[in-house]
Amino acid sequence: MLKKLKKAALARSLWIYHVAASPCNNCDIEILDLLTPRFDVERFGLLLAASPRHADLLLVTGMVNKKVLDRVLRVYAQIPKPCVVAAVGSCAISGDLFVDSYNFAGPLDKHIPVDVYIGGCPPKPEAMILGVMRAIEKLKKLKDL
């Protein structure tokens, strides 16, 4: 009973924490765009959280560089588990054209487990909504809450 409630509560209204791990800003602006009237993801109960400790979904954008990596790991450690991590944009997924950069610390999934990959440079807001929906599905399927 409690488990069911927990699951419903978690999957019904995801709180998002957004980490800009050395992006070009574009994915970040598109994420903010999601909250504005045209796309309005708040209708799915999604809200931007002010602290990682309140978040269920971590959105990471950008190619993770060496300086920011430590902070990303710390933010991830602060999020109550279970949580879903989404890599937004080609940079977070693979490094994109920054693979050759001397400051590139490797793709995001090398450092923290990633559940959803949202590709594109930048991903269209529609793609991001789809990705978040996938994340919710994934949370619903989790057995060991």
Provide the minimum distance between the beta carbon of 63 and another protein in the complex, in angstroms, as a whole number.
6
Q: How far is the CB of 108 from another protein (least distance, A)?
A: 15
> What would the 3-class secondary structure string for the chain be?
CHHHHHHHHHHHCCEEEEEECCCCCHHHHHHHHHHCCCCCHHHHCCEECCCHHHCCEEEEECCCEHHHHHHHHHHHHHCCCCCEEEEEHHHHHHCHHHCCCCCECCCHHHCCCCCEEECCCCCCHHHHHHHHHHHHHHHHHCCCC
**Shortest spacing between CB 45 and another protein, in angstroms:** 18
Quick one: 28 or 56, whose CB is closer to another protein?
A: 28
Q: How far is the CB of 100 from another protein (least distance, A)?
A: 6
Q: Cβ closer to another protein: 11 or 31?
A: 31
Instruction: Enumerate binding residues for another protein (CB under 8 A).
Output: 19-30, 32-33, 36-38, 48-52, 62-63, 65-68, 71, 75, 96-98, 100-104, 121-122, 124
Which CB sits closer to another protein, 11 or 55?
A: 55
